[in-house]
Amino acid sequence: MSYSEKPSRNRTRSMIKIMLCALAFVTLFSMPSTGFAQQTMDPVFTEHQKAWTTKHEFSSPLVDHLPASTAVPSPRDVLGHDIGAPRVLDRYADILKYYRALAAKTKRVKIIETGATEEGRPTVIVLISADENIANLEINRQNLAKLGDPRGLTEDQAKDLIARTKPIYLILGGLHSAETGPPEMLMELAYRLVTEDSPLITNIRQNVIVGINPTTDPDGRDRYTDWYYRNKIDDTDDLDPVPGVPYWGKYIFHDNNRDINYSGFSSRNLLAFYLQWRPPIMHDLHESVPFLYTFSGQAPQNPSLDPILFGEMPWISNFEMAQLTKYGMPGVWTHGFVDAWSPGYVGFMSTNHNGLFKMYETFGNGGATTELRHIKPVEGPGEDLHASDQTVREWFRPNPPDKTVEWSMRDNTNYMETALLSALQMTSEFPQQILENFYQKSFNSIAAGRTEAPYAFIIPGDQADMTKVALVINLLRLQGIEIGRTSAEITLKEGKFPAGSFVVKRDPYGRLAKILLEKQKFPDSKLKTYDDSAWSMGMMAHVKVVPTADLTALDAAVQPVDQYRPEGTIGAASAAAYAVLDHGSINMATLRYRLRNVFVRIAEQPFKSGDQEIPAGSFVIEAKAYEKLKAAVVPLGLTALALDKVPNVPMHEAALPRLAIYSTWGSTQNVGWIRYAFDRLETPYELIFKDELRKGGLRSKYDVIIVPSQGRSAKSVVFDIPMRGKPLPYTKTAEFPTQGAYGSSADIRGGMGLVGVEELRKFVMDGGTLITLGDSSAVPGEFGITPDIEVSRPTKAFYAPGPIVNAKVLKPANPIFYGYTDTTLTVRWATTALLALPFRNQNDVLMSFPGGDKMVQSGLMVGACEVKNRPAIVDLPVGSGQVLMFMTNPIHRWQNFGEFRMLYNALFSYKGLRKDLGGPPVMPDEPTAAEDKPADAC
Ligand SMILES: [Zn+2]
């Protein structure tokens, strides 16, 4: 739809703009391109591009044409449509088909296969450059590897390498499946880069190798596209959109951009490519705010990253902004959205490894249908939306977008592509500077490891549970961080460390090692951050990590570690029984499932066998299971001792409850993280939704139901997607084969409703165990399953973006804490709900938050006194059953490994959780004068 057919109050302004633009293009942009002027353009494309752009000002001279080629196929030749066609989204196989067809016809393209997704779709990187650069790729790859790890390189050698090397500029599109534009646009960009002979494109081709990751979440792309065609294609007004598809990838949704430990195959494949090819620039394409936001790394910034980076980001962003504004395109801005604090965004793999990260948010419609978009937010009573109002002029947004707009896929394509071409233009003008910076940042990173403490991190080799140590070591290795293992005891300022300890030196990615392992000191409590404020790996995994200020740590004799897999051991084949020592390994969970047909008991108290202390929680296993046990404990890194007699301590069977996980349809992500962990740890469960819940009869099917944290509130857990509009089927059909994966429903609207709540209540009354996690723990209190519990929310002043805090174990003998030896545990803060119990239920609280600033171990919590003495874990008897409420999230992403066991302990010992709970409350002592006002008083 062209602008001239549409009435608008901005018509006059736009008409003037059209005239000005036309004039400007003739004088400024056509002149230098004499060779380009002779190139034949594709008239059909020109016509489409013009017709699908809703306002002239939403286009630019860089994208209003496309060369005609008889040699290589255009997107239309392969897909049957030009890019930006209304109501058209391409599926991943077609996208790949296009790139392969392109690569088959030109020497300017090479496709690198990088692996496959969870659902088996191949992942690739498409490299595009001039013929000679593509022919020279391997040498270039080796050069970039040397610049990215310049140990042993002299300055002259570096200069020489830089002069002979082209930077790779790697672009990612479609990490977020609802952000549908980039995977379309990138095909056109690829074709343009291969075929166009304008000076701008020729220069890019000569001086830059452009890498394209066509769709960073291929599984999600197809699932979203099917959903779009089935349910969303008729969306024309953003005030009444149809909700999105329940799943993108197999497990996680939007969090594929928070996957700090690379659980997803697609990001892991990307990381492997990154470490092999070391692109100095990585650019991630997203859609949300209008019309184009180019990230420049606003505060808070991680101070461990190289200062050069924070000069580079706005350097390119400001150029893009000036270029697009010059072309007459409104609404291009930088600064003021997303910060540079957390290292967990996928594209941050570049900054984490001394590269340069770029990111756009463009304006997407969640599909390819042209829509009326309301840009100015509508303020409700008491709301001040000024900060989120992108139509307001700010110093960093000098030319804001209009308040409403008719917006098309082509408009979005024009913005993204014009900006990317501008960023590539800049890169092609300064390729040597980009490489110099890359080299210098890499050099500085290594140098910093020798001049700034900590010089290394020591992970002691004598930790009771080495399997969690292995998790940390292998995740660091995955990111290219070098680790050595000591062959003898070493003595440092911080103490003695036994042989077999790990030394994480700061080579070659010292900044990343430091960022991941250190305690996060948030720079300014008045600042907000876009995601988690803390991630300290040692605290998250309950692994001891010691930063050392002792330079001699760098001289310690070590063997390089590729992967660390502690091998388990088992005693002699003839024994009365075996004890698998419980030191908190999460592999104990996997062991239980591998021995599902074996009689496994849990020792409720510590005992001795000879001189060996065997902790409470250890598994006691019958002698006849020796072979099965051996086959399991050895690869799992656990220790099974041979016992000369069955211990005489209280024991109970390690239960294998019939387990269900409840998921809403509208918020499957946090459930997805639990599913991911359960699948990795070989835990069987049934995933149930509203239809199963409403049907009732839950107690006859399940012993335990877990309700993970999900939705925005308890109300949204119960009512989920509103019953508005038409039914929304998520079922597999011949036409839509990706639908119905991981669950299916003829209509995903409506939630469990009060009927579902009542079925959950009956389940508990009849003896079931209901386990709620994080924010979902507000449901039992607010919906009457545990009517004695009051739920409140902290004040508006409270702010806790995922800090790591101390929690106090109140019932250390309770089965929930098997495998834990401390009564103060680090946990990730995970709730917006606070529970209050009547005094008589004081003895049902298993763990609590002490409150106060001293509680905060890493990251930011403002108002820590508001949570003083609030329950962290509560088990309440209800009828014949119980409700176990975690105000923590014991499985937060694939990250807080130290907390996982609390949930597994609850499963294996669900029948015995109340053994030391309940009973009469204890009246508190009067505080003594000394205790009255501790230093950290609230
Ligand atoms: Zn996004």
Q: What is the pLDDT of residue 18?
A: 44
What are the strands, taking DSSP E only, across 281-378?
Answer: 281-287, 292-294, 298-301, 332-334, 339-340, 356-362, 371-374
Distance 247 CA to ligand 1 centre (A): 15
Which of 304-318, 463-477, 552-566, 923-937 has the weakest average pLDDT?
Answer: 923-937
**Cα(281)–Cα(167) distance, rounded to whole angstroms?**
8
Distance 256 CA to ligand 1 centre (A): 9
Q: What is the pLDDT of residue 761?
A: 98
Distance 254 CA to ligand 1 centre (A): 7
Distance 595 CA to ligand 1 centre (A): 42
Distance 665 CA to ligand 1 centre (A): 20
Q: Tokens 């804001």 appear where?
A: 400
Q: What is the pLDDT of residue 927?
A: 65
Q: What is the pLDDT of residue 23?
A: 43
Backbone phi, psi, residue 828, to 5°: -85, 130
Distance 217 CA to ligand 1 centre (A): 11
pLDDT digits (tens, 9 = 90+) for 729-742: 999 999 999 999 99
pLDDT digits (tens, 9 = 90+) for 332-386: 999 989 999 999 999 999 999 999 999 999 999 999 999 999 998 877 766 666 7
Distance 255 CA to ligand 1 centre (A): 10
Select from 690, 824, 820, 640 the least CA-distant residue to 246: 690
Distance 180 CA to ligand 1 centre (A): 10
Select from 435, 452, 572 the least CA-distant residue to 506: 452
Q: How confident is the model at residue 326 (pLDDT cuts 50, 70, 90)?
A: very high
Tokens (6 digits) for 541: 């995994």
Q: What is the pLDDT of residue 586?
A: 98
CA dihedral sign of residues 289, 291, 292, 296: negative
The stretches of 702-768 forming alpha helices (DSSP H) are: 714-719, 753-765
Distance 85 CA to ligand 1 centre (A): 22
Distance 553 CA to ligand 1 centre (A): 42
pLDDT digits (tens, 9 = 90+) for 119-153: 999 999 999 999 999 999 999 999 999 999 999 99
Distance 362 CA to ligand 1 centre (A): 10
Q: What is the pLDDT of residue 922?
A: 80
Cis peptide before 801 (omega within 30 of 0): no
Q: What is the pLDDT of residue 19?
A: 44
Distance 307 CA to ligand 1 centre (A): 26
Q: What is the pLDDT of residue 21?
A: 45
Distance 858 CA to ligand 1 centre (A): 27
Q: What is the pLDDT of residue 35?
A: 46
Distance 249 CA to ligand 1 centre (A): 14
Tokens (6 digits) for 176: 């977020």
Distance 556 CA to ligand 1 centre (A): 44
Distance 208 CA to ligand 1 centre (A): 26
Distance 911 CA to ligand 1 centre (A): 43
The stretches of 622-711 forming alpha helices (DSSP H) are: 626-636, 669-680, 690-695, 698-701
Q: 278 pLDDT exceeds 50?
A: yes
**Cβ contacts of 78 within 8 Å, gap of 6 or more:** 94, 97, 98, 101
pLDDT digits (tens, 9 = 90+) for 656-672: 999 999 999 999 999 99
**Cα(801)–Cα(527) distance, rounded to whole angstroms?**
11
Average pLDDT for residues 179-201, to the nearest whole number? 98
Distance 286 CA to ligand 1 centre (A): 4
**Cα(666)–Cα(668) distance, rounded to whole angstroms?**
6
Q: What is the pTM of this model?
A: 0.95
Q: 930 pLDDT exceeds 70?
A: no
Q: How confident is the model at residue 629 (pLDDT cuts 50, 70, 90)?
A: very high
Distance 171 CA to ligand 1 centre (A): 14
Average pLDDT for residues 666-684, to the nearest whole number? 98
Distance 179 CA to ligand 1 centre (A): 6
Tokens (6 digits) for 324: 């697009």
Q: 405 pLDDT exceeds 50?
A: yes
Average pLDDT for residues 797-801, to the nearest whole number? 98
Distance 530 CA to ligand 1 centre (A): 13
Q: What is the pLDDT of residue 846?
A: 98
Distance 248 CA to ligand 1 centre (A): 12
Distance 495 CA to ligand 1 centre (A): 46
Distance 677 CA to ligand 1 centre (A): 24
Distance 534 CA to ligand 1 centre (A): 21
Distance 711 CA to ligand 1 centre (A): 19
pLDDT digits (tens, 9 = 90+) for 3-55: 333 334 343 344 444 444 444 444 344 334 444 558 999 999 999 999 999 99
Q: How many CB atoms lie within 10 A of CB 404?
A: 15
Q: 280 pLDDT exceeds 90?
A: yes
State what percent of residues in the chain have pLDDT above 70: 94
**Cβ contacts of 116 within 8 Å, gap of 6 or more:** 122, 123, 265, 269
Average pLDDT for residues 923-938, to the nearest whole number? 67
Question: Do the beta carbons of residue 772 and residue 886 sit within 8 Å?
Answer: yes
Distance 176 CA to ligand 1 centre (A): 5
Average confidence score pLDDT of the chain: 94
pLDDT digits (tens, 9 = 90+) for 740-792: 999 999 999 999 999 999 999 999 999 999 999 999 999 999 999 999 999 99
**Cα(874)–Cα(918) distance, rounded to whole angstroms?**
11
**Cα(607)–Cα(610) distance, rounded to whole angstroms?**
10
| Parallel/antiparallel/unpaired status of strands 600-603 and 619-622 | antiparallel
Distance 98 CA to ligand 1 centre (A): 24
**Cα(210)–Cα(498) distance, rounded to whole angstroms?**
48
- Produce one character per residue of 606-644: b if its CB has 16 or more CB atoms within 10 Å, e if not: ebebeeeebbbbbbbbeeebbeebbebbeebbbbbbbbe
Q: Tokens 């009564």 appear where?
A: 823
Distance 227 CA to ligand 1 centre (A): 18
Largest CA distance in the chain: 95
Q: What is the pLDDT of residue 462?
A: 98
More confident position, 261 or 931: 261
- Reading phi first (left if > 0) and then psi (alpha if -120 to 50, else beta), residue 919 is in left
Q: What is the pLDDT of residue 935?
A: 54
Q: Dihedral, CA atoms, 883, 884, 885, 886, nearest 10 degrees?
A: -170
β-strand partners of 826: 806
